[in-house]
Structures are given as structure tokens and as C-alpha cells.
Homo-oligomer: A and B are copies of this chain.
């Protein structure tokens, strides 16, 4: 086989959402792809720990799926959410739309989405997915990668490019950090999250109105619920770790829920709530920024490996999927000159990824500040929390982020401009 004919070989480290999608993108470009995933095949395990159960898919993610003809398959199993449904303390419900009447975000099951993407990837003869392969080392001069199998054996390979889609605790990024002048920032916030389940009713219906993202906003605490295909809801409780820790007994828990999330108790079931809460644990939330994303023409990090954000803007997966689209466009532009594409990727994508990290953290900080500076307002009937979460004048920004592909940093700039001319 002549050198011209030789397919370029890419190792995608990480077989999660962004890694699996990215493999499809590279194979579409006629690269030979090996995906190395540290964990077992998600399609064969029963319980997956430490990752959220469902996610909100919006336009950026959908556009990225569309390009590899995966959009239909994914949204057929998703549930439309046209608005937030706000649950006040007294049980009052209020609806705040996400955008125009026809605009919605979608609740999708992370596991299902990951499985669909892996199966699509494996259908392609140019993609091989290796599970239980942990990256141990990589050489950014030669493209050599060293992996350790779960049985302890070592595998080595040499590839044209190493793509790190291995999440917030990326092994590829750690290797980059050891080898180059790399700017890096990680920040844990005082809040953790815990997932709970709200089952279907006795008559096998959704326990709450279906086409909404449900929100219980309680200043320092927050609970949200997204609908699932099986007619259950997945609840996510956000609270400072010290509040989680302070709930030691079943009575503590029920007092806390009665005070804050009263209307959810009969829908979850008191017994089930107690079981789930004390069986589960709260997971931390991390925000990560770094730069550059690439090393020469040998390595690139994408998705959470490059820009993990706190989940308060619902863009983590969407941003990671859009990464694949952006890289694909740049490989088009540079006619698969990997080095040139990687270099421009860092140049254009850093500012956007950092913008969405900032927006997500901004929402979180706003919440914290309003709490700390306005303690006297805590008992106000209409919760102040809402003023940061959904002020009217923020809706255009949210819609720009969720329903367009306007670059993230331009969303912020446009919003600042709107403020000025108003």
C-alpha cells in the first residue's frame, strides 16, 4: 500500500459520549480509528456510577448528531421540554418557556445515547472499540500510546494523532500537563449533587407534567427533574456538601424535604426516598479550563477533558458534541492537515469553551451571592433564586445558547451589546 493510500490512524482515548461521536466523525473522513475506553462496555454493565442519568440536548448537540446521521435515532428516544416548571414551596406551579412556542430542549438518557453511539461506531469497519484499556503513557513526538488492559497486560501502538475525549479527569490532559507549558485551572464548588428517582404512578403514568424541566429553587438548595422514557423522572438534588452531611437520620431527611420539597414527597414515595438517599452519595462538581488544547499535530483534547463546566447551563454535552463539529469543519478547511486544524481549533475553540464555563459558573455564583448578601430575604415568598435563574432579560441569552450555533463567546458579547442599547 503506498503512503498516499495509507489511511491516517487516530486513537480516541475515551468511549463516552464525545469519544464515541468523535470516532464516527473521524471514520467519516476515512481515518482508521481505535477507541480506548478505561471502563467496561456500558452496554454490558448493570449500574453506571458517578455520571448523570439524563441530559438536556439542545441545538448544538443535535446539529453535531445530524452530521453523522444520528439525530433521528437519538431524538426518537428523547422527551421534549418546552419550558421550565417552577415548583414553589407552597406547591404553586409556574411555567417559564425556554424560547418561542416551537422551541424545546430534549431530555435524553445518557446511557442510551452512549450505547447508540458506540453501536453506530462499531458498525463501521474502520472503527475498533477497546474496552478496559487504560491510557498509561503517550509520546507526543512519536505518537506512541501505551495502554494497560484490565488483566494487567500492556498494549502499545503508534498513531498519527491522539484525541483525548476522556472526560474531566483526562489521562491525556495529565500527560500534556507533564510535558508542556500548559495553563490549567480546576475548581470544585461547595455544592455536590445526588440523583434520585421519581417512579411512574400506580396507573403507570408520569407523576408530573411531562414536557418540562421541573425546578425546585430554594436559594442554597436546588432540585431539578427530567422525564425519562420509562415514565419515571430523574431528580437531581444540588446542595452544599455540608448540608448533605448534616442529614444524618431519616427524620432529618423528611424534615428537610417537608420544608423544601414538600410536593415531591408523595410522588417519590417516603420509603423510597429514605432508601435512595441513604444508599446514594453526593458527587462533586468540577469546573476546568485549560490551554492549549493541542500539541503539534499529535494530540488534541476535546469535551470535558478540555472544558468541564458546572451543570447550571445545561451545555456540557452540547458543547462537547459541537467540538466534534468544529474540528470536522477545520479538517475540511485545512484539507486534513491535522497540525493546521489542531492549531486553529485551539485558537477558535478556547474562547468559546471558556465562555460556556464562565456562563455556567456565573449562574452558580449569582445564586450563592444572592444567598449570602440577602439573608433577610430568605423567607420571601417568591424566591429570589429565580431572579438569577430566569430573569426576563436573560432569556434571549439562554435562547441564543440553546437554540442557535452562535459562538458561545459571541452570545455573551451580543448580550452585552443588548444591555448597552436598551
The DSSP consensus for interface residues of chain A is strand
Residue of B nearest to A284 (CB): B181
- Residues in B with CB closer than 8 Å to A187 are 183, 185
Q: Mark A160-196, 1 if CB is under 8 A from B, else 0.
A: 0000000000000000000001111111100000000
- Residues in B with CB closer than 8 Å to A284 are 181
Q: Are B186 and A184 in contact (CB under 8 A)?
A: yes
Residue of B nearest to A169 (CB): B178
Q: Are B188 and A185 in contact (CB under 8 A)?
A: no
- Residues in B with CB closer than 8 Å to A188 are 181-183
Interface residues on A, range: under 10
Q: Are B181 and A183 in contact (CB under 8 A)?
A: no
CA distance A184 to B187 in the complex (A): 6
CA distance A188 to B292 in the complex (A): 11
Q: Are B183 and A183 in contact (CB under 8 A)?
A: no
CA distance A182 to B284 in the complex (A): 11
Residue of B nearest to A192 (CB): B181
- Residues in B with CB closer than 8 Å to A182 are 186, 188
Residue of B nearest to A285 (CB): B181
- Residues in B with CB closer than 8 Å to A185 are 184-187
CA distance A187 to B284 in the complex (A): 24
CA distance A130 to B187 in the complex (A): 35
Q: Are A184 and B184 in contact (CB under 8 A)?
A: yes
Residue of B nearest to A185 (CB): B185
A285 to chain B, nearest CB (A): 10
A102 to chain B, nearest CB (A): 42
- Residues in B with CB closer than 8 Å to A186 are 182-185
A92 to chain B, nearest CB (A): 36
CA distance A185 to B187 in the complex (A): 8
A185 to chain B, nearest CB (A): 4
A168 to chain B, nearest CB (A): 12
- Residues in B with CB closer than 8 Å to A181 are 188, 284
CA distance A288 to B181 in the complex (A): 13
CA distance A329 to B394 in the complex (A): 50
A309 to chain B, nearest CB (A): 15
Q: Mark A73-86, 1 if CB is under 8 A from B, else 0.
A: 00000000000000
- Residues in B with CB closer than 8 Å to A184 are 184-186
A residues 179-216 in Cβ contact with B at 8 Å: 181-188
A203 to chain B, nearest CB (A): 43
By CB atoms of chain B within 10 A, which of A181, A183, A185 has the most? A181
CA distance A220 to B22 in the complex (A): 41
CA distance A284 to B184 in the complex (A): 15
A120 to chain B, nearest CB (A): 34
Residue of B nearest to A188 (CB): B181
A175 to chain B, nearest CB (A): 13
CA distance A185 to B287 in the complex (A): 11
CA distance A376 to B60 in the complex (A): 43
CA distance A188 to B185 in the complex (A): 12
Q: Mark A82-98, 1 if CB is under 8 A from B, else 0.
A: 00000000000000000
A interface list, Cβ under 8 A from B: 181-188, 284
Would you list 13 pairs from A and B whose C-beta atoms are within 8 A, ordered by A residue?
A181-B188, A181-B284, A182-B186, A182-B188, A183-B186, A183-B187, A183-B188, A184-B184, A184-B185, A184-B186, A185-B185, A185-B186, A185-B187
The 3 A-B residue pairs with the shortest CB-CB distance in the complex, in nearest-first order: A185-B185, A181-B188, A183-B187
Apart from A181-B284, A183-B188, A185-B186: 8 A-B pairs, beta carbons within 8 A:
A181-B188, A182-B186, A182-B188, A183-B186, A183-B187, A184-B185, A185-B185, A185-B187
